[in-house]
Amino acid sequence: MSNVEYSKGLEGVIAAESRICKVDGENGKLYYEGYSIDDLVEHCNFEEVTYLLLYGELPNEGEFSSFQSHMRASRDLSEPIRRMIQEFPNENHPMELLQSVVAYLSGYVEHKIQHSAHCNCRDTLHQVVQLSTVVAAYERYKTGHGYIRPSKSLSHGSNFLFMLTGAEPGELEGRIMDDCLILHAEHGFNASTFTARVVASTISTCYSAISAAIGALFGSLHGGANEKVMAMVDEIGEPSNAAGWVNRTLDEKRKVMGMGHRVYKAKDPRAVIMENYLYQLSEKHGDFRYYEILKEVERAFRDRMEEKGKPIYPNVDFFSGAVYRLLGIPTRLFTPIFAMARASGWLAHVLEQREDNRIYRPKALYVGERDKTVIPIEQR
């Protein structure tokens, strides 16, 4: 180790300017292009939010109508892509498949690499749109079912549930699924978004950049927290076990999943919305078990933290897994759904990076040996 100081993981280091996302951690607010997430969830669907992220402003009716038609016309998968999905080994993770498919897709779409934000990436939205079709097709094949062609009349979220099950989801379920995509569409310079920007900075394609970002999101330190929350919920089993479980876990200095966030000092605004959806779905199912377990965990956790004088709140992952489960979605799709949503944000960052680009080339601090001589192999 050397004595030269630097910031590991580039913590606190500014990597670029951005106008896409503002996380106001102090006040528990999240903004996309200046609009609060609450406002967007209330008034827009995922396709409209995608337009906002890619163009920097909300569309008028004419703009939105043509954008939406274009997105919906891009939903279906070509035969070779479907074969890739079918042949992907069964025991492997769909994130590996997603990363591969997005890079492969670029071969099937007419696109240019342009050193300009005014490239045609906004017109070739397959890398955003088809992710949901790939995820649904993966699940269909894996469970021994056939491919379901996407609908053009459903919202992005509703269509995803339709392609999973073959049945149109209820109005509530479709809206919640679509809103979940909005809530995960963007969140600043996390590792996957930063990956997309680094790849974009070489003036590679949008597909290359988004494929790379999927690889980063697959990492266990990045995606996957809501899977772990549901493992916790399953372990707890009943609401009455929750407080004891939390106290034991904290006594043993282990982590309670879905609690706290690097940036939010107040409650994660996405968690507030997710909690409400979980309540609505629990009510519709007439089954409040997940909801009550989670609320008991939250309560017990808060009590313990208040003793220490440092309040820690649930983040979006705390409630999203239970929401997905009540929507009938298997756990292995949780991180792929994150990718489906975040693809819009990644593409927005790719475009922004190109507007005022410099290739990322940080320095390494050399700590290795110097001037060694190769000894012939038979003398080693």
In the complex with a second copy, which residue's Cβ is closer, 140 or 325?
A: 140
Which residues does residue 30 pair with via DSSP β-bridges, in sequence order? 23
Select which of 317, 349, 356, 371 is catalytic: 317
With contacts defined by CB under 8 A, how many residues of the chain interact with a second copy?
Answer: 109
Work out the number of other CB atoms within 10 angstroms of the CB of residue 206. Answer: 30
Near a second copy by CB under 8 A: residue from 155, 208, 226, 249: 208
The single residue among 26, 27, 34, 167 that binds a second copy, judged by CB under 8 A, is 34
Nearer to a second copy, 254 or 363 (CB): 363
Q: 364: which residues sit within 8 A by CB, 6+ positions away?
A: none
Q: Is 3 in the site for a second copy (CB under 8 A)?
A: no
Q: For residues 360-379, which are near a second copy according to CB under 8 A?
A: 360-378
Q: Should residue 216 be labelled a site residue for a second copy when binding is judged by CB under 8 A?
A: yes
User: Which pair of tokens denotes residue 49?
Assistant: 């939010």
Beta strand pairing call for 35-36 and 29-32: antiparallel
Among 28, 46, 47, 48, binds a second copy (CB under 8 A): 48
Whether 261 sits among the annotated catalytic residues: the reply is yes
Extract the tokens encoding 147. 């491919």
Q: What is the smallest separation between the CB atom of 164 and a second copy, expressed in angstroms?
A: 21
Examine the residue annotation and report whether 156 is marked as an active-site residue of this protein: no
Quick one: 33 or 179, whose CB is closer to a second copy? Answer: 33
Assess 35 for contact with a second copy (CB under 8 A).
yes
Check binding of 147 to a second copy (CB under 8 A): no
Stretch that binds a second copy, among 54-62, 230-238, 281-289, 293-301 (CB under 8 A): 54-62
Q: How far is the CB of 270 from a second copy (least distance, A)?
A: 17
- Residue 223 makes CB contacts below 8 A (sequence gap 6+) with 95, 192, 217, 334, 335, 338, 339
Query: Max Cα separation, the chain?
Result: 76
Query: Within 228-267, which residues bind a second copy (CB under 8 A)?
Result: 262
Interactions with a second copy, residue window 187-206 (CB under 8 A): 188-192, 194-195, 198-205
Type and span of the H or E element at 177: helix 171-183
Helix or strand holding residue 31 (H, E): strand 29-32
Give the Å distances, CA to CA, from 242 to 276, 291, 325, 368.
20, 12, 19, 50
- Nearest one of 246, 319, 339 to 276, comparing CA atoms: 319
Q: Which is nearer to a second copy, 286 or 377 (CB)?
A: 377
Is the C-alpha dihedral spanning 143, 146, 147, 151 positive or negative? Answer: negative
Residue by residue, DSSP assigns 264-313 as -SS--HHHHHHHHHHHHHHHHHT--HHHHHHHHHHHHHHHHHHHTT----
Nearest to 347 by CA among 246, 196, 201, 202: 196
Question: According to CB under 8 A, which one of 70, 142, 222, 267 is a site residue for a second copy?
Answer: 222
Question: In terms of CB distance, is 108 or 141 closer to a second copy?
Answer: 108
Q: Which stretch binds a second copy (CB under 8 A): 3-11, 132-140, 149-157, 238-246?
A: 3-11
Among 3, 12, 144, 153, the residue binding a second copy under the rule CB under 8 A is 12
Measured from the CB atom, the residue of 161 and 217 that comes closer to a second copy is 217
- Does residue 211 belong to the site contacting a second copy (CB under 8 A)? yes
Binding mask 82-121 for a second copy (x = CB under 8 A): -xx--xxx--x--xxx-xxxxxx-xxx----x-x------
The residues, any chain, with a CB within 8 Å of residue 190's CB and separated by 6 or more, are 222
Rounded-to-integer distance, Cα 102 and Cα 213, Å: 10
Residues 334-353 that bind a second copy (CB under 8 A): none
Stretch that binds a second copy, among 26-34, 141-149, 286-294, 297-305 (CB under 8 A): 26-34
Q: Which is nearer to a second copy, 34 or 237 (CB)?
A: 34
AA identity, residue 14? I
Query: DSSP 3-state assignment of 70?
Result: helix
Name the DSSP letter for residue 151: P
Which is catalytic among the residues 111, 261, 268, 349? 261
Least Cβ distance, residue 379 to a second copy (angstroms):
9
Min separation Cβ 273 and a second copy, Å: 15
Residues carrying an active site annotation: 261, 317
